[in-house]
């Protein structure tokens, strides 16, 4: 991964440019005491600013090398924590160590490994009967990129859930309060989220790409920091994605109310299922989302009694296909040619299969007598 990052010419190349240019630009604004104002590419919760600022603590290395070093430390922390907690012959740790390189060098050039570390450590803390610590980690992670709060969706009913969610709320509120005092406009990102369209790599984007092969007159446009499809019916596809997300939340609520068995594997199984649901129904499925899924799948595999072992295994070829789509064949994906569409159909079909299988197996393993 480091060699690929050093060369950075795989496929379309330039994966490290986001750190070199965009992250560094955000760092300079944050270091000057302000969140990026009016920048449509800044679409992250205020806690993300602390991750962007963190490489500044290693200023002699230079921002880029310091950022990669921070990512490697987070990677090592996840691998170590999984190995310590593993009760399944090391399968969880090996899924992380062997699965992450399927995404080539992308994980080293995005901050999602750091975000995933919060969720992984939160799940392992809850399993170790430290719901307060687990909740605090999930709360801080949620303020960095929202989704880590889903690590608490499967906590056992009663005192464990109350303590975990109370700690999450307290940690998130405390950190947000500090950021509100230090920085102006830390909630600026909310203004740009609603304007996003249908990214070409999402399920809706794949459907529209197939429609374009059949004659639909849409186009691919760079907007809000991503390549999106524009044209007739795109707004309808975006609304459908939102409705599916709401339906996914409804399913999770129904599962939570019907669940009766709460074994040690349930919190991780539920977290992976929840993140899969919100990933496949999103208007945006960036390749770094697979980092989140691999991390949660690795936690699942640390237990022999997990119900989601086949789901975790499906994510490995999905990760490999994500790399094939970006950066290897990204020009084909953007050109919406048959090869690019075929790769996206295969990757997204695996994600849909993993999601449906996760929902089915989680429901059956927890709602029976």
267, pLDDT greater than 90: yes
Tell me how far apart the alpha carbons of residues 90 and 93 are, in angstroms, rounded to a whole number: 6
Tell me how far apart the alpha carbons of residues 222 and 214 are, in angstroms, rounded to a whole number: 22
CB 283 within 8 A of CB 241: yes
40-94 pLDDT per residue, tens: 788 899 999 999 999 999 888 999 999 999 999 999 999 999 999 998 888 999 9
Tokens of 243: 């409705």
Which pLDDT value is given to residue 195? 60
Instruction: Tell me the mean pLDDT in the region 245-260.
Output: 96
CB 92 within 8 A of CB 127: no
Residue of 45, 48, 69, 47 whose CA lies nearest to 57: 69
369, pLDDT greater than 70: no
Tell me how far apart the alpha carbons of residues 268 and 155 are, in angstroms, rounded to a whole number: 9
Residue of 172, 178, 177, 85 whose CA lies nearest to 136: 172
Tell me how far apart the alpha carbons of residues 222 and 130 are, in angstroms, rounded to a whole number: 44
185, pLDDT greater than 90: no
**Looking at residue 227, what DSSP letter applies?**
E
Tell me how far apart the alpha carbons of residues 275 and 259 are, in angstroms, rounded to a whole number: 18
34, pLDDT greater than 80: yes
Tokens of 141: 């992670």
Give the chain's largest Cα–Cα span.
Answer: 60
CB 279 within 8 A of CB 294: no
Q: In this predicted model, which residue has the larger pLDDT, 298 or 195?
A: 298
Q: How far is C-alpha 289 from the chain's CA centre?
A: 4
Tokens of 21: 């240019």
Global pTM value: 0.96
If you compute the radius of gyration of the chain from its CA atoms, what whole number of angstroms results? 20
**For residue 230, what are the β-bridge partners?**
219
Instruction: Tell me the mean pLDDT in the region 138-152.
Output: 96
Instruction: Tell me the mean pLDDT in the region 286-310.
Output: 97
Helix (H, G, I), strand (E, B) or coil at 200: coil
Instruction: Tell me the mean pLDDT in the region 251-263.
Output: 94
Tokens of 230: 């524009």
Q: Which residues contact 115 (CB under 8 A, 6 or more apart)?
A: 51, 141, 144, 145, 147, 148, 292
Give the relative orientation of helices 266-280 and 234-258 as an angle to the nearest 10 degrees.
160
**Looking at residue 221, what DSSP letter applies?**
E
Which pLDDT value is given to residue 192? 57
Tell me how far apart the alpha carbons of residues 109 and 94 are, in angstroms, rounded to a whole number: 22
The pair phi, psi for residue 198, each rounded to 5°, is: -105, 110
Q: How confident is the model at residue 193 (pLDDT cuts 50, 70, 90)?
A: low
CB 88 within 8 A of CB 301: yes
Secondary-structure breakdown of the chain: helix, strand, coil percentages, each rounded to the nearest 5: 70, 5, 25
**Looking at residue 228, what DSSP letter applies?**
E
Alpha-carbon distances of 16 from 2, 10, 59, 281, 319, rounded to whole Å: 11, 11, 18, 28, 19
Cis peptide before 339, with omega less than 30 degrees from 0?
no
């Amino acid at each position: 991964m480091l060699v690929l990052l050093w060369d950075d010419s795989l496929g379309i190349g330039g994966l490290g440019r986001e750190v070199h240019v965009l992250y560094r630009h955000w760092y300079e604004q944050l270091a000057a005491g302000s969140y990026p104002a009016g920048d449509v590419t800044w679409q992250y919760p205020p806690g993300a600013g602390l991750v962007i600022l963190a490489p500044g603590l290693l200023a002699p290395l230079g921002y880029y090398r310091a950022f990669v070093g921070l990512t490697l430390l987070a990677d090592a922390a996840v691998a170590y924590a999984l190995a310590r907690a593993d009760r399944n012959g090391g399968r969880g740790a090996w899924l992380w160590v062997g699965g992450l390189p399927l995404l080539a060098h992308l994980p080293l050039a995005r901050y999602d490994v750091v975000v995933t570390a919060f969720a992984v450590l939160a799940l392992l803390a809850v399993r170790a009967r430290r719901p307060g610590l687990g909740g605090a980690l999930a709360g801080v992670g949620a303020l960095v990129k929202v989704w880590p709060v889903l690590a608490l969706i499967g906590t056992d009913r009663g005192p464990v859930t109350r303590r975990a969610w109370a700690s999450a709320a307290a940690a998130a509120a405390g950190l947000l309060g500090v950021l509100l005092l230090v920085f102006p406009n830390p909630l600026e990102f909310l203004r740009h989220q609603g304007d996003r369209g249908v990214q070409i790599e999402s399920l809706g984007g794949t459907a529209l790409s197939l429609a374009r092969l059949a004659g639909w007159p849409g186009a691919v446009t760079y907007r809000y920091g991503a390549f999106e499809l524009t044209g007739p019916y795109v707004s309808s596809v975006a609304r459908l994605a939102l409705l599916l997300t709401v339906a996914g939340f409804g399913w999770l609520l129904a599962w939570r109310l019907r669940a009766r068995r709460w074994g040690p594997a349930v919190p991780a199984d539920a977290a992976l299922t929840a993140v899969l649901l919100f990933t496949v129904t999103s208007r945006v499925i960036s390749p770094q989302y697979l980092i989140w899924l691999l991390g949660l799948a690795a936690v699942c595999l640390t237990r022999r009694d997990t119900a989601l072992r086949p789901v975790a295994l499906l994510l490995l070829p999905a990760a490999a296909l994500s790399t094939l789509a970006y950066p290897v064949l990204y020009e084909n994906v953007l050109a919406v040619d048959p090869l690019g569409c075929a790769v996206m159909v295969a990757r997204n079909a695996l994600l849909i299969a993993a999601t449906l299988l996760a929902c089915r197996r989680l429901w059956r393993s927890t709602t029976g007598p």
